[in-house]
Structure 1
């Protein structure tokens, strides 16, 4: 059957995963239709002028983990369409006593900075960094872009090598215990845990449980880290869309999918609210969330009992982000600059949390559906590293603080604390950067789960990852690329390697679908089994 409404494959959702999946399969010669409910595309790759003209704010994704080295970034030739900035200083933590701890990409520099607080901690970090760099390069990044092996096979393969065995042991460690065992200085401990939490874990659970992903090693490596999309995160989305269209893909925005059509337990297309049917000859792929895919578009009654239960038990992160986005006359200037001048040049900051107890207190309060009583937040001033994100001589900055989705059980309660929380954040910021005064703030915008769940409906309950990154939902326990319905695939954040900007599920999904359709891929899909077999 060939018609204007008939395609080889239909992809639901034009976020990072849908764009990557579509680009690969369109280039493989398939007729691909990419559907998006919204006017725009890119999902969490959002850069907008929400304060004043010329000030560009990344409302969702800001820091992209080693994107320019991913297989899909290279395969799709994206370096010809955009540039990533790799900052020398990735993390900084100013302290109320005027000191600061700054992590550089350079081992000697970082060890020296840690050594200003503890010679023993500097020595420990140097020893662990050597292991972590090897584990990240040869295990973590390889598994990140390949379908995960079963728990048994993975353990068997990793156990054959010294490096693999050490990695497995590390995945069993509780981060809080590990940090307390390894380090003696409180500032050092806090920044390590802060770095780990920003990697994409639920902090409270990350502190007290191990993770099969092995994300604990990210607290120790330096060479592989976060990058900044020049001009704003949306430029990655733009580059991917240009690639998708150039490869022959078709994009339709403002197109809501009412249901996935299932005939004889096979997905054969989708139906729109006005009754229009779009046929899929070979597959339908969802890159959105579990709830909308299976509860709304497929219907629970068409799923086996085990899948119904898995959908019903899908867990979400217990916190959301309160974002304060600022247009500034000048960038934050930290008092700690006298201690370490590089504190003003970092990508990411831990502001206001100087003890493990304070971190735990904030997250305990959030779990009790309370706004943290003390402002402590992640922050950054991206225009310092990328002047394109603000007018000449001006700057942008942001602060992200964790808050409950439904304060005291009410999702609308955020409106009653919005202004007070913004003021508290700025007041706390001024304690560390005295120039963060009201007259330095040219414009401000608060962005909370109340807003972003309306714009991005797949972030159910304010969950920016579209599923809690707990051990029972990651790696070999992820939601899966193939579903119980023939021809229906999942290729979004509920799938390995899960939420945040990785592109992994779209990339892996392309290989899975190509294999099922008998298509010889024009790329070389990552094979975890082959990669792990090569470990020494």
Structure 2
């Protein structure tokens, strides 16, 4: 079989890339190892009949504003967005509750309960967002790096003086940002909790921008969900692609990228079938799996392999899905109307929890992100009931359990039972009687998450840490921050590439844009320039990397892997192997 382009993986990024190429008139084949497309954008009835569960990502603020997805007009292909009455609730131990709403005055009133001045302070942040939103999102999610045109538009929107201050803000830890901008605790918690959808602690550089983006998107478009489940977003992308002649092959596990005369020429499937690519191969798989397993060391610069040994995954994840006999009986009724709930206490509590993670300890009192799915989409469960889930982060390789229950990191039945008890005890404290409503449950340990989608390495949701040392020109390794790889004709189109995790389609759209440009009239010049840049980046002596840490893939690891589970996007394009 031969096509203009082969896309490895039918996650959101892979399907966005395929649609962009099909719109340009290319023949496109998408190869997906799983039984169905979607990667981490899938839904099923796993708790009880009639209770729909989003298996991975669930809420989609980035998707609702993403230039890449909005350009595809997916409403014409069956996608309908629904919203909970309130976006987000973060209760605090003193009995107050910070509530984010698409109604600006509602959010402002909530934050004024912590400090009257914070109503105006939040309005000022929203005014800044409205000023920079379009060029900022274009620069982050739509334009291949460096985003020259979008960056120029952003600079014009800000002006020279404010551009410098915005750049400083983008580097701030969320704790410092909150201290500078707000008088009370509530507003900072909305931002800090949003940043913790990634692996960024309140003291992490850059956590203010990540949290601010998610909070401002929530203020702007809410945290919408697809009517009928996360799988409806995937279904709309697949339907659109097929309407333009694209092909999606499931149960088509890619075993290798075919490299001939130094160029990617297609892929070989696990059954030995070759799917040839006349123009490009785009990979919606994590960077480590792509380079170390699908391409192979013999085709890659030694310095790239050294850099890959330093690649850092984000935190692991433990998730519980429930079928509940009724709505969650929150002690604070303000929580009941929120689609997303943050149970994490104060800023200091978030810092302590993050410090335990940084020390390799399973948190004693985890920060829970909880989704009330029937509140957002009444069709997710029978009338009067609730389909809900919650997740929290864990170390990739725990060294101990700060909670003293002996969680080992084997992620076996005993670990699952101990973590489940920790989650439900915390929920019972916030919602007395919660336990009595449980009809059934389904648990997803880090091991099971990876088994369900091999790109979720150890339960990592974002294709690598969101920390500054692995963003922009450092993502996935020091380089150009672009989709091109050292193999001509091969493009990285997954969340391991800039701009990272989240169901926004940015990496896929950028990879498709660059592939189209490389195939155009200026293609030979562009390809020579890319080859020269890669030679420069990977030239010189190769330093021996230090022994890999628990979050690194190691020099011979095959690797497979809100926005968080409420904003994640991956694809099970390759099956997992045992970690080295």
Distance 1:174 1:97, change over 3 A: closer
Counterparts of 2:416 and 2:207, CA distance in 1: 34
After TM superposition, give the deviation of residue 160 of structure 1 in Å. Answer: 5.1
Aligned-residue Cα RMSD (Å) equals 2.6
Matched, 1:348 2:357: no
How many residues end up aligned between the 2 structures? 506
Distance 1:33 1:502, change over 3 A: same
Matched, 1:295 2:292: yes
Counterparts of 1:180 and 1:485, CA distance in 2: 46
Residue in structure 1 matching 2:483, options 481, 484, 494: 481
After TM superposition, give the deviation of residue 255 of structure 1 in Å. Answer: 1.5
After TM superposition, give the deviation of residue 215 of structure 1 in Å. Answer: 5.3
Residue in structure 2 matching 1:13, options 9, 17, 22: 9
455-464 or 327-336, larger mean C-alpha shift: 455-464
CA contact (8 A) 1:170 1:214 kept: no
For structure 1, list consecutive stretches of 5 or more residues without a partner in the other structure: 521-536
Matched, 1:60 2:59: no
After TM superposition, give the deviation of residue 387 of structure 1 in Å. Answer: 1.0
1:86-235 counterparts in 2 under 5 A? 86-149=83-146, 158=155, 161-198=160-197, 201-204=198-201, 207-210=203-206, 216-219=212-215, 222-235=219-232
CA contact (8 A) 1:114 1:188 kept: yes
After TM superposition, give the deviation of residue 62 of structure 1 in Å. Answer: 0.9
CA contact (8 A) 2:28 2:247 kept: yes
78-87 or 218-227, larger mean C-alpha shift: 218-227
For structure 2, list consecutive stretches of 5 or more residues without a partner in the other structure: 401-407, 477-481, 523-580
Aligned to 1:527: none
**SS of residue in 1 equivalent to 2:254:** coil
Distance 1:397 1:211, change over 3 A: closer
After TM superposition, give the deviation of residue 119 of structure 1 in Å. Answer: 0.9
After TM superposition, give the deviation of residue 16 of structure 1 in Å. Answer: 0.6
Counterparts of 1:188 and 1:266, CA distance in 2: 51
Matched, 1:328 2:324: yes
Counterparts of 2:312 and 2:268, CA distance in 1: 28
After TM superposition, give the deviation of residue 405 of structure 1 in Å. Answer: 2.9
Aligned to 1:503: 505
1:210-263: CA deviation from partner (whole Å, max 9, x where unpaired): 369665454456214422111111110111111111111122211221211111
CA contact (8 A) 2:191 2:211 kept: no
Distance 1:75 1:123, change over 3 A: closer
Aligned to 1:248: 245
After TM superposition, give the deviation of residue 385 of structure 1 in Å. Answer: 1.9
CA contact (8 A) 1:331 1:397 kept: no
**SS of residue in 2 equivalent to 1:365:** helix
Counterparts of 2:416 and 2:521, CA distance in 1: 52
After TM superposition, give the deviation of residue 187 of structure 1 in Å. Answer: 4.2
After TM superposition, give the deviation of residue 111 of structure 1 in Å. Answer: 1.2
TM-score normalized with structure 2 length:
0.81
Matched, 1:315 2:312: yes
Matched, 1:79 2:87: no
Residue in structure 1 matching 2:378, options 376, 379, 387: 387
1:462-473 counterparts in 2 under 5 A? 462-473=459-470
1:294-336: CA deviation from partner (whole Å, max 9, x where unpaired): 100111221123322332222211x211111100111113221
After TM superposition, give the deviation of residue 143 of structure 1 in Å. Answer: 3.0
90-99 or 381-390, larger mean C-alpha shift: 90-99
216-225 or 89-98, larger mean C-alpha shift: 216-225
After TM superposition, give the deviation of residue 363 of structure 1 in Å. Answer: 2.0
CA contact (8 A) 2:340 2:370 kept: yes
CA contact (8 A) 1:170 1:216 kept: no
Counterparts of 2:449 and 2:59, CA distance in 1: 18
Counterparts of 2:119 and 2:209, CA distance in 1: 26
Counterparts of 1:217 and 1:66, CA distance in 2: 9
After TM superposition, give the deviation of residue 427 of structure 1 in Å. Answer: 2.2
1:313-364: CA deviation from partner (whole Å, max 9, x where unpaired): 22211x2111111001111132212xx4xx311121112x222222122222
CA contact (8 A) 2:169 2:209 kept: no
After TM superposition, give the deviation of residue 166 of structure 1 in Å. Answer: 3.3
Matched, 1:452 2:425: no
After TM superposition, give the deviation of residue 13 of structure 1 in Å. Answer: 0.6
CA contact (8 A) 1:328 1:442 kept: yes
Counterparts of 1:172 and 1:292, CA distance in 2: 30
CA contact (8 A) 2:144 2:510 kept: yes
**SS of residue in 1 equivalent to 2:362:** coil
139-148 or 109-118, larger mean C-alpha shift: 139-148
Counterparts of 1:305 and 1:213, CA distance in 2: 34
